[in-house]
Structure 1
Amino acid sequence: MSALELEGVFAGALQGATLAIPAGLTVVLATPADGGSDLPLVSGGLLVPRRGTVRIGGLDPARSPEVRARLGLVLAEESPFAAPSLLEAVRQMLALRGQASDPRVLLDRHGLGAVSGVSPEKAGAQARRHLAWALALELVEPHALVVHEPLSLGPLASRERTRTELLARAESGVPVLVVTASPRDASELGGSLVLLDRGRFVRRPGPPLATELVPGANATLWLHTPAARALAGALVGDPAVASLEWDQGEIRVRGADVDSLSLAVLRHARALNTPLSSIGMALPALEEVRAATAGLWRAAYDAAFRTATAQAREREEALARQRAASAPPPPPSTEGGSGT
């Protein structure tokens, strides 16, 4: 399949964005202000960069109708089709593609059969995005699939089915690019994660995301138990627990080491003979991720500045020693003369 490549792209909120999306699933964590909603537009050839290049299989999608015809694209906002109904919109799109699929079957398969007679404008923004997703999945041998917030396609879409469909395309060798502002959705989708911050791709956190999204921060475990009060009381004094919140049947505990924290929870639950209904690691909010990214950049800048300053000082000292070594000796002193 064709790779999707961005090189130094300036467009909308994107500020020199460079990224290569190979076959498989790539998830970009970004807000619209970071360029998250502009990324699908640029990838689909609908927003021409002020500077930089976009290539799918070596071709610019903005200048290649053939590439755009085989690109599955779901935007942050989908404009209404110029058709009297969703059914007719699908019929027209399939005809343009030369596909003989039954539009009613397509709509039913994707949970849109109940609104097939509604006009695209009246169907609403979520239904139009859901329809764009359904049409993207019907492409035969797509060059790539680019989807904004696939797990937020509306009440008629199944999160689990959408995730399964995305992974199936990725596993078949299609480059799949997903953009989401939700750390939870990014974790649920899996794939290779990239952070887009203020228009630039800045880092690739690895698993587990609960700790790697905000390096160095305390880990947070959430757990549910029918004896939350007793377990919370036991955990308060444990050295592995830095802080604790308790609300009804849910407890949230934080600590520097996730393994020590988990063992503390299990140890106290066993001592109290308290069953745990569920337990998991909490993901940081996107604001925390952005703050951590800014901190990492500042730390890298400070380290580079200190290194450069030390190297400059060493060079100056070395030059001073060289000048001192190569300087001619001072003339002999003539002061005092000779006595008689």
Structure 2
Amino acid sequence: MTSDAPLVALRGVHARDASGPRRRARGGLHGLTLDLGPGVFAFVGAPEDGTIALTETIAGVRAPLRGGIAVGGQAPARAPSVRARIGALLSEPALPEARSVGAAVTIARRARGETSARPEELLEPLGLGHLAPRDPLSLGFAEARAVELALALSTPSPLLVALHEPLADVAINLLGLVRERIRDLALAGACVVVTTSSPADARALGDRIFLLHKGSIAGEGDAAGPLPGGEAALRAWVRPPDSPDDAASVRALARILSERPEVRAVSWEEREGPPPRAAEVRVSGDDLDACALALVDAAVEAGVLIESIAPASPGIGQVRAATEALQAFRRTATLSHSSPVALSTRRSPGQGILARMAPPAPTPAPAPAASPVPPPAAEPPEPPREPDPREPSGGGS
């Protein structure tokens, strides 16, 4: 692999997962082509959009149906030496069979070439040391995924770390440490791929976000930019000072923010409870950094305390709906750039109401004179009607 080659390369990849009932596919990839280097890349989508299929194929768990995948210049499904440098957290945990969790961790580490390592060294930093003596079959779903996440984040000299929902369904309380580990892996030169149905998790982890929709990339952007279905926004939890009229402080904050040119919209929701009551404030605009500075300035002016600030993200339902609308718009725009279409009020046989306009056909040359066509023969007169005996006769008696 040359120095300028991507760590992960996909070329026209078609793939399916096997995560549905009876190992049927829930989603797949359809002709995906992509190059990824060092960094954290978050793919937002549902399993039906191909997130599980992407994780499994780049990790070498299954080969693509068509197309090619290269990690470090080799196909991961056919290169055990490459798979040893790939850390993976899949949708379903699959720890090696062993008498204890600690033994299963040791087997997994030996399979990737590690020799002298105590399982507690891997489990304890994430608060999982108490699981080492347990039987792997006794672990719950989130506990087993937590152990596999610890294994993935400790991959030696990793080329790729593929993580499906690393912040969901994992029995780890130190999620801040998980984010720090992911960041350290990327800074060390690894490619970290996160697949998730949570736009908020994608923003929290990714340097770059890809929107995966029905097996294809529907959009991409920086983590600080807006996703389809919502503009750039911040959520802040603020607390007014200890005063009888604490609601007035929050309203003053909203009024000051509404007058700032960098803020496009502001809303707030007060929480129930005894004073001083906290409130959630949502601020949106074109630039998140500018919105954050405006929020801090307004809080000082209004005399309220900011407890926390975080980016606000639309839900996966909003993202998918917005993506559907965007793709429909693109299809319409593509059609509008094709040949003009005219509405026809007359419909000829075999022709629809919409008829494509064509240049006028040349006027045909006059046909040679033909013999006159005889007029159609006159129809014979109707025979006289027989008199009805029930009708009175026309003469007198």
TM range (shorter): 0.7 to 0.9
The residue aligned with 1:204 is 220
In the superposition, relative to structure 1, how do residues 171 and 114 fare at CA in structure 2: closer, same or farther (>3 Å)? same
Counterpart AA for 1:292: A
Deviation at 1:89, TM superposition (A): 0.9
Q: What residue ranges of structure 2 are gaps of 5+ in the alignment? A: 18-26, 272-277, 344-355, 367-397
Q: Is the contact made by 1:241 and 1:261 (CA closer than 8 Å) also made in structure 2?
A: no
> How far apart, in 1, do the equivalents of 2:284 and 2:137 lie?
50
> How far apart, in 1, do the equivalents of 2:298 and 2:38 lie?
46
The residue aligned with 1:337 is none
Q: Is the contact made by 1:241 and 1:253 (CA closer than 8 Å) also made in structure 2?
A: no
Match status 1:250 vs 2:268:
no
Greater mean alpha carbon deviation, residues 246-255 or residues 200-209: 246-255
The residue aligned with 1:300 is 330
> How far apart, in 2, do the equivalents of 1:220 and 1:106 lie?
36
The residue aligned with 1:129 is 145
Match status 1:65 vs 2:88:
no
Q: Percent identity, aligned pairs only?
A: 29
In the superposition, relative to structure 1, how do residues 123 and 279 fare at CA in structure 2: closer, same or farther (>3 Å)? closer
Match status 1:5 vs 2:9:
yes
Q: Is the contact made by 1:4 and 1:22 (CA closer than 8 Å) also made in structure 2?
A: yes
Deviation at 1:221, TM superposition (A): 4.4
Work out which of the residue numbers 129, 151, 157 in structure 2 matches 1:113: 129
Work out which of the residue numbers 86, 92, 95 in structure 1 matches 2:107: 92
Deviation at 1:153, TM superposition (A): 5.9
User: More helix by proportion, 1 or 2?
Assistant: 1
In the superposition, relative to structure 1, how do residues 305 and 41 fare at CA in structure 2: closer, same or farther (>3 Å)? same
Deviation at 1:268, TM superposition (A): 6.6
Counterpart AA for 1:35: G
Counterpart AA for 2:267: L
Match status 1:14 vs 2:28:
yes
In the superposition, relative to structure 1, how do residues 113 and 265 fare at CA in structure 2: closer, same or farther (>3 Å)? closer
Match status 1:158 vs 2:163:
no
**Matching of residues 1-340 of structure 1 within 5 Å:** 3-8=7-12, 9-12=14-17, 13-16=27-30, 17-100=32-115, 101-152=117-168, 154-209=170-225, 212-214=226-228, 217=231, 219=233, 221-226=235-240, 229-231=247-249, 233-234=251-252, 235=254, 244-248=267-271, 249-253=278-282, 272-310=302-340, 319-320=359-360
Deviation at 1:63, TM superposition (A): 2.1
Q: TM-score, normalised to structure 1's length?
A: 0.79
Larger relative contact order (C-alpha < 8 A, sep ≥ 6)? 1
Structure with the greater alpha carbon radius of gyration: 2
Q: What do the CA deviations read for 1:207-255 (whole angstroms, capped 9, x no partner)?
A: 424xx11367584644412266214545479577767342322134466
> How far apart, in 2, do the equivalents of 1:218 and 1:275 lie?
23
Equivalenced residue count is 323
Deviation at 1:270, TM superposition (A): 5.8
Q: Is the contact made by 2:230 and 2:314 (CA closer than 8 Å) also made in structure 1?
A: no
Q: Give me the CA root mean square deviation.
A: 3.5
Counterpart AA for 1:171: L
